[in-house]
Structure 1
């Protein structure tokens, strides 16, 4: 009997697909069985017809049911299940690609170390009715054509309005639309970095960035990240010795720590950039999740020596690959040439949808709801992880990430493998170290770490470790 859990973070569509798939696999629904009509199913389980349509469509695509014109939906004959590519084992080297692939192909795993928001939080952003409304309002006769390489002018105007509200001197000519922040990083690397250049990055920092810099053949110089921002004393020593071409930083809701940079640190960083003639690439992918009004380098510098970039993929939907770069017009022009040379342009459909979300106020309302949900989820996750045995005293105040140390004596890689084999995906701190140095930390998602399952798992593992230590203690004298 299908039971829907309306309090679950799993969307109703996915619950229906999973339940019917289980019934088919177990033989409770045999080949040839006719399923209820869409309307009957919706009425029986008190869900929308749209939810049932989505579920049935998913089951058809999976080959578990078939649609017969005018007759309805029928269970298909059982066949050998193909191997699920998402069911990756824990083998192989644990590196940035290991983590990224498993986050993107998580399957049934509890993903506690992800940089994405839970899918259930994003259901109001990309419904078919909203997409249809956005296209109607756009009245764009060229819907099936690609967007201009720099991005639709109306979208760049909306982005400029958003950034100016944050104190960043943006206009349409200072903006380039990208396929997410990952492409922004790629374009910056292509245009400004050459093999052998010195580049300073934060330690810990964004693991995908490190991979891209290695591909560019540059010399990566780690700069420790503190709770108040980059270690500018260390940066000054690095720039005097190596004269770096560029420094990559995250001023707001830093990944993986969640910390914000202070005004004195940001001012000193800009002074060093001016004095030693280097560029700063400021990554603000998670800044929209901040509940306050944090400072950004792009705001303080007026974009002088700063290439500022962000993304909507994290807060709207990973399926919407839209980001932007904001910089001086000469920099935008050079990055535009790189974009045309690599991917030509972007999706007009995605850009029209984002215009609608920004103009209608839906984006602003979605952000307000998401920040409230994240604040509640942070409280739950901190409580859960503290109960599980973690020291949460150094956790950041806001944002998606919790950067927490493991108890002494825990082998992080061994724990990550064991957790994965037990259905839990963790993000080990070593992957966020530019040179792959060891780390006692794990990155947790504050949106997805409030489950009792984590308490049970960590308590069992840490208790086993403590028992092993006790057995190894020397006997007291005499």
Structure 2
């Protein structure tokens, strides 16, 4: 092998194996050399070879079989293609970024920042100190691990285990909330012109992100117990999508959660059609850990899972995470370094301390009690107004109130705004913006406001 950085050696190995697969020299199903044999063949370290194999898995070239090794993946319609030239050029830069974050070299003349000792005594350092059982300790001022703060990733791993999702800390990538995670996944998985499926109704900011990436967005009808599987199969047959973005638990905007039989069947359909699943579990910490989750049933083979602390702690505290297979996690980490370098170590340490001290657990107990009380009051008010609820609530912040056919929910929202009332009309939650199901998303925290109840009463009586 030529001399060069670990990153460039890895890229050369990936390119060489990819060419061999394309030329048919490595047919589908062929077992790749063991790590020991491959390190000797390519003249690199074990860590370099592990990274090369993992990235080939993320690219859809290889598949990892636990206890058996790596195999050439059978050509599938949705195997993640090799990155285009502009992406390859960008990834080449990652090796420099990775070294600045992980600091494996003792001589740092190529670094892009001053040593931490130059800033550790700053006024910022005196304000940002974390409480521990042994008093206070300063926060380091370097970039930190590109995956994010290690202790928090380990804590998230334990939390995921309670939900039945078993990961190593290296499979957990910390982000600036779920929207940042979605952005990384979209950049990694999709190219302009690709088609994806989304819940309909579903999370409308996701629709905007996908359209910004020039991706075709197709809705899958949402039922009270999860996606409509007949519609899912129909849209797959029509559009050959690359991925399905969905919320299984405490769905936004309907509040419903997927039933276990639906989850099993959905994964069977995904496997048959080589469909990637992106599961957004935004209310994970507020709802029962035992609710069905696609990531728990799939164990991150084709599911990419997202979570956040922003919905349970503070909207201004942008800390979230992506859990995925090791190969996908590595690829998303590279994308994170290219786009934002790293997430906030300050915020991640703060969340970690809240978890370690038990304060987060106590906070969640109070939050769940508040959600339960507010949901009960909101359901009573909607019932008195004669507004049926689409799905049984399962612990999130939202319910979906159905309106009579023909009622214009956009016009209703405009009239409410004139009276100082903010309504989320159902139409905006459909990717085609059609009034397929007139209604409104109700945040249960505000469902007992007399001004809202009076407005809805008058509006329904005289639409």
**Common fold: TM-score over 0.5:** yes
Contact kept? 2:129, 2:138, Cα under 8 Å? no
Determine if the alignment matches structure 1 residue 281 to structure 2 residue 303. no
- SS of the aligned residue for 1:325 comes to strand
Aligned pairs for 1:55-454 (under 5 A) are 133-134=130-131, 141-291=138-288, 293-392=290-389, 394-438=391-435, 439-454=437-452
* CA deviation map 1:239-277 (0-9, x unaligned): 233221111111111110111111111111111222211
- SS of the aligned residue for 2:446 comes to coil
* CA deviation map 1:352-390 (0-9, x unaligned): 111111111211111111111110011111222333442
What is the rounded CA distance, in whole Å, between the counterparts of 1:400 and 1:253 in structure 2? 8
Contact kept? 1:258, 1:396, Cα under 8 Å? yes
State which drifts further: 237-246 or 331-340.
237-246
* TM value normalised by structure 2: 0.69
Partner of 1:121: none
What displacement does 1:133 show?
Answer: 4.9
Contact kept? 1:175, 1:326, Cα under 8 Å? yes
What displacement does 1:435 show?
Answer: 1.2
Q: CA RMSD in A?
A: 2.0
What is the rounded CA distance, in whole Å, between the counterparts of 1:353 and 1:276 in structure 2? 42
What is the rounded CA distance, in whole Å, between the counterparts of 1:440 and 1:271 in structure 2? 32
What is the rounded CA distance, in whole Å, between the counterparts of 2:308 and 2:430 in structure 1? 23
Query: Which segments of 5 or more consecutive residues in structure 2 lack a partner in the other structure?
Result: 1-126
Say which structure, 1 or 2, has more relative contact order (CA 8 Å, 6+ apart).
1
What is the rounded CA distance, in whole Å, between the counterparts of 2:273 and 2:391 in structure 1? 33
What is the rounded CA distance, in whole Å, between the counterparts of 1:408 and 1:269 in structure 2? 30
What is the rounded CA distance, in whole Å, between the counterparts of 2:243 and 2:380 in structure 1? 39
What is the rounded CA distance, in whole Å, between the counterparts of 2:387 and 2:255 in structure 1? 17
State which drifts further: 344-353 or 184-193.
344-353
What is the rounded CA distance, in whole Å, between the counterparts of 1:236 and 1:377 in structure 2? 37
Partner of 1:455: 453
Contact kept? 2:256, 2:391, Cα under 8 Å? no
Structure 1 residues 421 and 157, CA, compared in 2 at 3 Å: closer, same or farther? Answer: same
- Give aligned pairs, total: 336
* CA deviation map 1:16-49 (0-9, x unaligned): xxxxxxxxxxxxxxxxxxxxxxxxxxxxxxxxxx
Partner of 1:19: none
- SS of the aligned residue for 2:417 comes to helix
Contact kept? 1:281, 1:307, Cα under 8 Å? yes
Structure 1 residues 220 and 138, CA, compared in 2 at 3 Å: closer, same or farther? Answer: farther
Contact kept? 2:220, 2:231, Cα under 8 Å? yes
Structure 1 residues 186 and 317, CA, compared in 2 at 3 Å: closer, same or farther? Answer: same
State which drifts further: 133-142 or 223-232.
133-142
Structure 1 residues 245 and 269, CA, compared in 2 at 3 Å: closer, same or farther? Answer: same
